Structure 1
Amino acid sequence: MTAIVAYPLLTALVTAFFKQSLVVPGRKFVGFDNIVDVLQGNFLQLFQQTMIFTLGTTILPFAIGFALALALNTRIRGANLMRGLMLIPWLVPGVVVSFLWMWIFNGNYGVMNALLAPLGVEPQAWLAQPGTAMWAVIIAKTWQSFPWIMVMLLAGLQTVPRELHEAAEMDGAGTVRRFFAITVPQLKGIIGLVLLLEFIWNFQHFDIIYVLTGGGPAGSTQTFATSVYETAFRGYDLGHAGALGLLWLILLMALVVVYVRFSEKGEER
């Protein structure tokens, strides 16, 4: 922990207070200048784009995962096989997922344009346009992450006593009423945990964004994760990268506090 977590983290945070480059020897203490520069730069734009990506890749896979969990919780033929097959996207490495969706969204020979052509949609360079690139990245990340959410919610659904549904059905409650009156309250804890963990993970996600778009076009898919990398290893500016990382860490710590509080309440219940 000291070697691979604590020391690199502290070193990166300390760097935020120095003018330091990867190509120029030495460093100079500048106090909070780097942090001020970052805040006066494109910090708000990065925060907005990070939140768009995070919310999109949390809500969309949750909706898909919940729907599939409900479907697979019924007694249908081949349910066990379908559960196994749907785990494949989650098992595939992020870089492989990125190349797969890069081919799908390709403007010249991509499957997406071929599927939309019969509907009268003109071919699009999905990853090369600021208006569509972020949504393309969100779709790719959603495809990778929905199986984990599905498995977690499916496990929760299997703990809901069938007697509750049977009693409610005898009282005349329909499917929708039973869903909101029984299923959702019984899954309240697992739903909150899944959403919170997925939000934290997506808030710091890097690989799919960087491989698909590199933060482009025109910075439209740039997030905190990709911006720190670009600033440090493309711009060789460790000081500003450290300052951006420090602000990013503060935001993440706020999310971690919420997660810990939520976990403690769950244990009390």
Structure 2
Amino acid sequence: MTEILQVRSDGATPLRPPPPEERPRLGVRDRTFGFMVALPALALFLAVSIYPLLASVGTSLFDQSLVRPDRTFVGLDNYGTVWPEFLERLGTTLEFSALATVFPVLIGVSVAMLLNGKLRGRNTLRGLLMLPWLLPGVVVSFLWAWIFNDTYGVINNILGRFGLDGISVLESPAGAMAAVVIAKTWQSFPWIMVVALAALQTLPREQLEAAAIDGASRLQRFMHVSLPHLIGPITLVTVLEFVYNFGTFDTIFVMTGGGPGDATMTLAVDLYQLAFGSFELGQAAALGVLWLVLLLAVSGGYLVLNRKLENR
């Protein structure tokens, strides 16, 4: 085998390269210690994630209720029962998830662009804009339910001061959907703003300055310099926000309870009503399994798309 020698600059005898360092092998005691260290975390993961998932899949195969002590094996009958309801609630869930994702992304990126510029007091403004994200979802929901309340809400109070008639936002289907989307947007846009702002601050200033010298307008600099730099992070947060909105429960349950009628009845709220309103645990579990399969398909599609984009 040909040996590669290192030639010294003073013309002396060439030196052999140092032998490659071998990766140390862990002994039985070291491997056992590592396993024991990870065991509590593994046990906790199995207890809070894997076991409830398997238990839900098992429950979906039985006719089980909170008001009956026994249960009967029915196979896939629960899935056939909840399938039409799943399709109906899926449309409402997709509508809410899409609207509650698009608006926070647009607002978050726009605010990040504003804070990335030379704005007086921007550090203080960044901290203040993070407050909605730090508040619990139930608190945000009660806050916006009070704002939109048709009797003593802030909006109708302001309209009354100008001699205008009040509006019943939460009592109309379109108004209720708009209200929950506004509440979710107000709570969600700060974390998207943080991600976009972090990405913008890694953008080399020389590129923006060169584009400005070449005569590019602000819109052109955003479209051709800043936006390509934001595509990766914004795509990630958009998918995460969409998946998270798919499971939003507190905002809708507190503000509308799924109403008026079924206008805001998403999968999360319907699953709760089916389990703890109608006490049908088997059907609720079947609905949850269908919901999980859908989320796995969405997440898997994103991973495949992301891998294709990285390979380009």
Q: Counterpart of 1:154?
A: 197
Q: How many residues align?
A: 268
Tell me whether 1:31 sits opposite 2:72 in the alignment.
Answer: no
The whole-number CA distance in structure 2 between the counterparts of 1:34 and 1:215 is 22
Fraction of identical pairs, as percent: 50
Shift, 1:59, TM fit: 0.3
Q: Counterpart of 1:108?
A: 151
Tell me whether 1:7 sits opposite 2:51 in the alignment.
Answer: yes
Tell me whether 1:206 sits opposite 2:245 in the alignment.
Answer: no
Shift, 1:113, TM fit: 2.4
CA offset digits 1:222-260 (Å, max 9, x no partner): 111111111011110011101111110111001221343
Tell me whether 1:82 sits opposite 2:147 in the alignment.
Answer: no
The whole-number CA distance in structure 1 between the counterparts of 2:163 and 2:210 is 50
The whole-number CA distance in structure 1 between the counterparts of 2:73 and 2:265 is 28
Tell me whether 1:55 sits opposite 2:80 in the alignment.
Answer: no
Aligned residue type for 1:11: A
**Alignment equivalent of 1:65, drawn from 82, 96, 108:** 108
Q: Counterpart of 2:293?
A: 250
CA offset digits 1:2-40 (Å, max 9, x no partner): 111111111111111111101101111111111111113
Pairwise CA RMSD of aligned residues? 1.7
Aligned residue type for 1:233: F
Tell me whether 1:179 sits opposite 2:222 in the alignment.
Answer: yes
- Sort the Cα spacing of 1:216 and 1:163 in 2 relative to 1 into closer, same or farther, 3 A: same
Q: Counterpart of 1:230?
A: 273
- Sort the Cα spacing of 1:172 and 1:118 in 2 relative to 1 into closer, same or farther, 3 A: farther
Tell me whether 1:127 sits opposite 2:158 in the alignment.
Answer: no
CA offset digits 1:163-198 (Å, max 9, x no partner): 111111111111111111111111110111011110
Shift, 1:144, TM fit: 0.5
The whole-number CA distance in structure 1 between the counterparts of 2:118 and 2:220 is 20
CA offset digits 1:191-233 (Å, max 9, x no partner): 1101111001001111111111111121211111111111011
TM-score by length of 1: 0.94
Aligned residue type for 2:232: G
Rg: which structure is higher?
2
Q: Counterpart of 1:197?
A: 240
**Alignment equivalent of 2:66, drawn from 7, 22, 25:** 22
The whole-number CA distance in structure 1 between the counterparts of 2:301 and 2:239 is 8
Structure 1 unpaired stretches of 5+: none
The whole-number CA distance in structure 1 between the counterparts of 2:229 and 2:205 is 12
Tell me whether 1:260 sits opposite 2:303 in the alignment.
Answer: yes
Note if contact 1:38-1:244 (Cα within 8 Å) is conserved in structure 2: yes
* Structure ranking higher on relative contact order (CA contacts 8 Å, 6+ apart): 1
Structure 2 unpaired stretches of 5+: 1-44
